[in-house]
């Protein structure tokens, strides 16, 4: 059996593979917008396993798989054996014999790694405590659509050193751009955990406004990620100055865009004036989860396919 290709963290793919995926996502999106059916995954089955809540990830994978001609099955911990202690390895052996592709949203990254080791089919990380590669795939695709190549550009990350932050750090290394990071004291990035030790593609700033200076993209995320709810009260205090506001956007590049993976908390990590303002591209960003992940699923199941000439 040939070993399947997995997508567990951003650095699993090369810059050249991302360039292909972004071209492919654009082609698939254009076709979708023209209401032209495209069913390369006819008769294929995606299993989606959720151990945490989701709106966008579930919707984009389930709708995306249907639009590609296949079907998607939803499993959660509440009403499957996954929540009753069946080992991840055993679950992987069984689930991957009945499907063509698996997506998991869970807690520790080690869970997806263990699942991958026993999976006969490609596995996609739909968010772990450490990484959210599908979101950054869509975010970079969105930046390219809005502003052109991301290579050489600067992204300002304001807030928690969470799964999104770690994934941006990896993306900067793979795609050759820079991340300006500003986290509150006590919540700083851990380059080892993010898998970017020694990277020259990020700079740390104590003051969030300094991180935003000259940035082409300003982005943030919730102060308290799923699984960290017990820390909420302490985080509310620690993060109070890490709210992306109009002053921060004013020092960014004049044509800077604002992104947020959503769901957002207006008045916490971002003001309503910014997320609902003219520089925000959050709705296109959310929609692009669909198109980018359709390209990802096609690539993982079929490999590179002949590119259409109607881009
Ligand atoms: N951005 C994101 O992953 O959203 P969901 O939690 O709704 O899937
Ligand atoms: N960092 C957030 C992202 C949600 C899409 C979380 O993990 O809850």
For 207-240, the pLDDT digits (tens) are 999 999 999 999 999 999 999 999 999 999 999 9
Sign for the CA dihedral angle at 50, 52, 53, 57 comes to negative
What ligand is nearest to the CA atom of residue 290? 1
Determine whether 135 is an active site residue. Answer: yes
The answer to whether 293 and 138 have CB atoms below 8 angstroms apart is yes
Residue 78 has a pLDDT of: 86
Ligand with smallest separation from the Cα of 225: 2
Q: Which residues pair with 155 in a beta bridge?
A: 179, 217
Q: Please state, in angstroms and rounded to a whole number, the distance separating the CA atoms of residues 246 and 275.
A: 10
Q: Judge whether residue 308 has pLDDT over 70.
A: no
**Claim to verify: residue 139 and residue 281 sit in the same structural domain:** yes
Strand order, beta sheet including 101-105: 71-76, 45-50, 101-105, 123-125
- Widest distance between CA atoms in the chain: 56
Q: How far is the CA of 134 from the centre of ligand 1 (A)?
A: 10
How many domains are contained in the chain? 2
Residues 114 and 150 in one domain: no
Here the CATH number for the domain that contains residue 73 is 3.40.50.1370
Q: Is the CB of 225 under 6 A from ligand 2?
A: yes
126 Cα nearest atom in ligand 1:
3
What is the Å distance from ligand 2's center to 141 Cα? 19
> What's the CA gap between 280 and 171, in Å, rounded?
21
Residues 278 and 140 in one domain: yes
Q: Do residues 192 and 170 lie in contact, with contact meaning Cβ atoms separated by under 8 Å?
A: no
* 3-state class (DSSP) for residue 264: coil
The chain-wide mean pLDDT, for the chain, equals 97
So what's the pLDDT on residue 310?
Answer: 52
Q: Looking at the domain assignment, is residue 3 inside a domain?
A: no
The residue behind tokens 């692009």 is 288
Site of tokens 């970017």: 196
- Residue range(s) defining the domain that contains residue 110: 10-132+287-302
Crossing angle of the two packed helices 282-302 and 15-33, in degrees rounded to 10:
110
- The answer, yes or no, to whether residue 306 has pLDDT greater than 90, is no
Q: Is the pTM of this model over 0.75?
A: yes
């Amino acid at each position: 059996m040939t070993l399947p290709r997995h997508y567990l963290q951003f650095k699993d793919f090369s810059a050249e593979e991302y360039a292909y995926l972004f071209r492919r996502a654009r082609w698939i999106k254009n076709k979708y917008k023209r209401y032209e059916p495209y069913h390369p995954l006819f008769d294929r089955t995606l299993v989606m396993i959720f151990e945490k809540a989701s709106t966008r990830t579930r919707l984009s994978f389930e709708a995306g798989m249907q639009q590609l001609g296949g079907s998607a099955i939803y499993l959660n911990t509440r009403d499957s054996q996954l929540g009753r202690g069946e080992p991840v390895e055993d679950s992987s052996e069984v689930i991957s014999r009945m499907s063509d592709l698996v997506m998991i949203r869970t807690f520790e990254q080690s869970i997806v790694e263990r699942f991958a080791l026993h999976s006969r089919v490609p596995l996609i990380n739909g968010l772990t405590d450490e990484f959210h590669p599908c979101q950054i795939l869509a975010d970079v695709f969105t930046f390219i659509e809005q502003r052109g190549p991301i290579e050489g550009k600067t992204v300002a990350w304001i807030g928690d050193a969470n799964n999104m932050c770690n994934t941006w750090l990896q993306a900067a290394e793979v795609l050759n751009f820079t991340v300006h990071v500003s986290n509150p004291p006590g919540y700083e990035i851990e380059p080892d955990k993010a898998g970017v030790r020694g990277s020259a593609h990020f700079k740390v700033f104590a003051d969030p406004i300094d991180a935003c200076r000259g940035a082409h993209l300003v982005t943030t995320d919730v102060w308290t990620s799923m699984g960290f709810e017990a820390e909420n009260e302490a985080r509310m205090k620690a993060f109070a100055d890490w709210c992306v506001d109009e002053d921060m956007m004013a020092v960014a590049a004049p044509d800077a865009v604002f992104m947020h993976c959503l769901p957002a908390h207006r008045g916490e990590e971002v003001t309503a004036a910014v997320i609902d303002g003219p520089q925000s591209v959050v709705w296109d960003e959310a929609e692009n989860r669909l198109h980018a992940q359709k390209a990802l699923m096609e690539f993982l199941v079929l490999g590179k396919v002949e590119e259409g000439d109607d881009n």
